[in-house]
């Protein structure tokens, strides 16, 4: 420990210009093996659009071997592997398993906006570790492994099987990821009772867990009509019909936006509707538009996020069919994406109160740290939605306090000290979940 510091000071004496690039974290963190392993994982570039999962899997299999977890990979789509790690439970009874899920991929970076290279896992003197994925969500994956490592070292054994799932492609909609896994026979064989998936850190301290999330719809509507001279009022022109719809959509949007801006509601509690594009016009050869011709078709695309409120999908479907794109105004619509709904058109939410033993167990673990646990609907999608669609309880929780929420942000970082605290919370949660003797419950 000492030697390392001496060598560094000596080097700095010889090379003043190096001192700026030779940033170093606090000695206790630099020397901490959990921090070193976390930073090693962060240095594996798994960013879209071309995540190479091979090196990540190699690293993780190495971790599993060290800890003593069995591993296997599942490849539903070539080059889109899942890695599964398993710790068999000791129960004689057939108890359903505990799944610890995280995705290996990360979103792209705009490198010139980063103060430190995003795949170097630079640690500053306050213990902040800068890297893409340092929050979303490589931190959580490494918390699971560090937690399991401590439990192994203690001689603890789970009653229930624990499966650590490492998923591909979450950040691009999971089409080749969880959407392939969740209804596979391999997944059914895991026989999960509870899925722990990604949540957010809390800048203010204490912990939040996501029992559900908003459903994602990408809607395209269009209006068609006679094209004609720019000087005439036609009945039912494409533009006129689209304008009526845009007015209706905007009125609805205002009704959802106002309570958020006034602080009455959070974005997670309302329907979010945002315009993605408006497409129309009669092109001219030079790339412009002909002004004296009314177009025969106008198209618009919207990103819509629905909160998990009973009946909301039916309500929105009716609104879209009757007000936003009604046939009697020569309008039509389709969805590019419409995910997170059950067969009954509902958005599943896990029960986050004392009637659900999995919630009680989570709260019990958290209370050992004198902290509170608050349920909060996630504003965007996670892989947990697939588990909930099967009726499996799923909570999204990142047991990290006092770190700002920086998912997908430039200069995303994790605080090393908070990460170490998070390992202890993770140990407590895994202990609660995997030691829970029963009964068999499906609490969704």
Ligand X SMILES: *[C@@H]1O[C@H](CO)[C@@H](O)[C@H](O)[C@H]1NC(C)=O
Q: Which residues lie below 8 Å from residue 190, measured CB to CB, with a gap of 6+? A: 84, 97, 99, 161, 163
Instruction: Supply angle C-alpha 401, 404, 410, rounded to 5.
Output: 140
198 is in an annotated binding site: yes
Residue-wise DSSP of 276-328? EEEE---B-TTS-B-TTEE-SEEEEEEEEEE---TTHHHHHHHHIIIIIS-GG
216 burial (CB, 10 Å; 0-12 / 13-18 / 19+) is buried
Determine the interface stretch with ligand X among 66-74, 193-201, 251-259, 330-338 (rule: CB under 6 A): 330-338
The binder of 97, among ligand X, Zn ion, none, by C-beta within 5 to 8 A per type, is none
The verdict on whether omega for the bond into residue 443 sits within 30 degrees of 0, i.e. cis, is no
Per CB under 6 A, 101 contacts ligand X: no
Determine the interface stretch with ligand X among 16-24, 198-206, 269-277, 416-424 (rule: CB under 6 A): 416-424
Candidates 170, 213, 376, 412; catalytic one: 170
Taking CB under 6 A as the criterion, the residue among 19, 73, 93, 183 binding ligand X is: 183
Tokens linked to 402: 């006092």
The binder of 137, among ligand X, Zn ion, none, by C-beta within 5 to 8 A per type, is Zn ion
Instruction: Supply angle C-alpha 357, 137, 128, rounded to 5.
Output: 115
Taking CB under 5 A as the criterion, the residue among 69, 137, 140, 164 binding Zn ion is: 137
Q: Which of residues 368-407 bind ligand X (CB under 6 A)?
A: 370
Nearer CB in complex with Zn ion: 136/169: 136
Q: Which residues lie below 8 Å from residue 295, measured CB to CB, with a gap of 6+? A: 227, 238, 239, 280, 281, 282
The binder of 63, among Zn ion, ligand X, none, by C-beta within 5 to 8 A per type, is none
- Name the minimum Å distance from CB 382 to Zn ion: 6
Nearer CB in complex with ligand X: 267/390: 390
Instruction: Supply angle C-alpha 125, 127, 133, rounded to 5.
Output: 130
Cα 58 from chain centroid (whole Å): 23
171 is in an annotated binding site: yes
Per CB under 6 A, 107 contacts ligand X: no
Nearer CB in complex with ligand X: 59/333: 333
Residue 170 annotated to the active site = yes
Taking CB under 6 A as the criterion, the residue among 424, 435, 441, 443 binding ligand X is: 424
On whether the CB atoms of residues 275 and 262 are closer than 8 A, the answer is no
33 burial (CB, 10 Å; 0-12 / 13-18 / 19+) is exposed
27 is in an annotated binding site: no
Residue 105 annotated to the active site = yes
Give backbone dihedrals phi and psi of 426, rounded to 5 degrees, phi first. -60, -45
d(CA 413, CA 384): 24
- Name the minimum Å distance from CB 297 to Zn ion: 38
The binder of 402, among Zn ion, ligand X, none, by C-beta within 5 to 8 A per type, is none
> Which residues are annotated binding-site positions for Zn(2+)?
103, 136, 171, 198, 408
Please list the active-site residues.
105, 170
Judged by the rule CB under 6 A, the positions of this chain that interact with ligand X are: 179, 183, 222, 224, 297, 332-334, 370, 420-421, 424
Binding residues for Zn ion, per CB under 5 A? 136-137, 198
């Amino acid at each position: 420990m000492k030697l390392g510091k001496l060598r560094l000071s000596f080097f700095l004496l010889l090379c003043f210009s190096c001192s700026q690039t030779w940033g170093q974290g606090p000695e206790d963190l630099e020397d901490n093996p959990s921090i070193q392993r976390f930073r090693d994982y962060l240095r594996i570039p798994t960013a879209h659009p071309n995540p190479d999962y091979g090196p990540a899997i190699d690293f993780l299999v190495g971790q599993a071997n060290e800890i003593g977890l069995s591993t296997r990979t599942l490849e539903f789509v070539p080059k889109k592997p899942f890695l599964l790690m398993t710790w068999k439970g000791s129960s004689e009874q057939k108890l359903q398993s505990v799944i610890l899920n995280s995705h290996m991929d990360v979103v792209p970076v705009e490198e010139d906006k980063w103060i430190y290279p995003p795949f170097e896992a630079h640690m500053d003197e306050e213990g902040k570790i800068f890297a893409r994925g340092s929050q979303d969500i490589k931190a959580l994956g490494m918390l699971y492994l560090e937690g399991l490592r401590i439990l192994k070292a203690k001689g603890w054994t789970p009653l229930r099987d624990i499966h650590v799932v490492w998923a591909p492609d979450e950040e691009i909609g999971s089409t080749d990821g969880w959407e392939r896994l969740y209804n596979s026979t391999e997944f059914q064989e895991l026989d999960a009772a509870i899925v722990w998936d990604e949540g957010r850190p809390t800048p203010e301290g204490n912990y939040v867990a996501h029992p559900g999330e908003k459903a994602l719809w990408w809607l395209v509507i269009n209006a068609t009509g006679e094209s004609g001279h720019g000087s005439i009022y036609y009945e039912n022109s494409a533009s006129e019909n689209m304008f009526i719809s845009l007015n209706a959509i905007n009125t609805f949007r205002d009704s959802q936006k106002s309570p958020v801006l006034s602080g009455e509601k959070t974005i997670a509690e309302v329907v979010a509707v945002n315009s993605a594009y408006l497409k129309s016009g009669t092109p001219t050869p030079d790339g412009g538009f002909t002004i004296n011709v009314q177009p025969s078709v106008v198209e618009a695309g919207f990103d819509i996020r629905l909160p998990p409120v009973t009946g909301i999908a039916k309500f929105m479907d009716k609104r879209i069919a009757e007000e936003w794109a009604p046939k009697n105004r020569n309008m039509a619509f389709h969805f590019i994406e419409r995910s997170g709904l059950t067969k009954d058109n509902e958005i599943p939410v896990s029960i986050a109160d004392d009637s659900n033993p999995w919630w009680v167990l989570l709260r019990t673990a958290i209370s050992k740290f004198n902290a509170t646990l608050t349920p909060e609907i996630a504003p965007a999608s996670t892989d947990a939605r697939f588990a909930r669609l099967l009726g499996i309880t799923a909570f999204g929780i990142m047991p990290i306090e006092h770190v700002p929420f920086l998912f997908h942000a430039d200069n995303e970082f994790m605080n090393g000290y908070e990460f170490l605290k998070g390992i202890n919370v993770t140990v407590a949660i895994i202990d609660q979940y995997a030691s829970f003797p029963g009964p068999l419950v499906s609490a969704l």
